[in-house]
A and B are shown apart, each in its own frame.
Chain A
């Protein structure tokens, strides 16, 4: 009876556990190292005699380990997290006023985009980069062969 009253000192917010003689909160404080020294003595004495509380303590230890394991809180940060900063700042400060130089650059970029838009409608225009690549490769090959031949001729002429 005496043991019960001591181990349930924190009875205001008692966490009941199987044995009924121990406040579950005390076991948590014991594991966390925040327990009062006197209570610690009684908890240890009780643990020596109570199988249920030793089991409860093992389960709590596992849970503390999981709660303290940083990899359990690893989060994938979505792209939107980076993207929304500008919008939020705009909402508070108003839209950013662009400098004249920036406006000019943007105008030129716009012009360039507009002037090449017709390419989208030219048949085969999308293949242009590929064709240019192939052509440049064949050209390089041709030039290489020409140079090789020239060198060979020069050597034989000697």
Chain B
């Protein structure tokens, strides 16, 4: 059942646990969907979602009820996304193995199936891949604009950067996505 932010605050006053459960219930899909498209995989998306809600829960008691919860959660999600992959990238190495036990360097060097996989790929996968190749800030800006239909000013507030920077990030991100989709042969243009 969908509940309003106000009723979440009322519930939180009566029973902290129930209040936090309602916050989680209301916003878990929103956070997870951004985290998933940002990180490109389920495990990282769950880790990011976990980090976001830990911050939300810890600070919820001091959050003022006259503000709405969503913009606050968006800011935390964007922050956690950008910081999560930054720390992940620092520790990643080509000798790491995947779940299937293959070393990353072997996967990168083997391209025998590349051609076949291009033809089998659907547009959704192709777009996911193109988005995943964008630099972190471009990726989050493009996702907020197109997946969450946020306005430039709103994105600027959420990412704490000037609106002009948001525009540049999105323009460059789109240009890169278009080139990538063209290379993947998605359209017959």
Contacts and interface: CB of A to CB of B under 8 A. Distances in A.
Contacts of B49: 81, 84
28 contacts: A13-B167, A15-B175, A24-B171, A25-B167, A25-B171, A28-B171, A59-B182, A62-B189, A63-B177, A63-B181, A66-B127, A67-B142, A67-B146, A67-B177, A72-B127, A73-B147, A75-B32, A77-B32, A81-B28, A82-B28, A84-B50, A85-B24, A88-B50, A88-B57, A89-B17, A91-B54, A93-B57, A96-B17
Contacts of B147: 73
Contacts of A75: 29, 32-33, 36-37
Interface string B20-45: 11001100110011001100001000
A73 B53 CA distance: 22
A96 B49 CA distance: 22
B171 A13 contact: yes
Among A64, A67, A75, A85, max chain B CB count under 10 A is at A67
* A: contact size bracket: 20 to 34
Interface string B47-80: 0011001100110000000000000000000000
Contacts, number: 96
Interface string B109-130: 0000000000000011001100
Given A72-B128, A89-B20, 18 more contacts: A13-B168, A15-B172, A25-B167, A28-B171, A34-B152, A55-B189, A58-B189, A62-B187, A67-B146, A72-B124, A80-B46, A81-B28, A81-B32, A81-B49, A84-B50, A88-B50, A89-B21, A92-B20
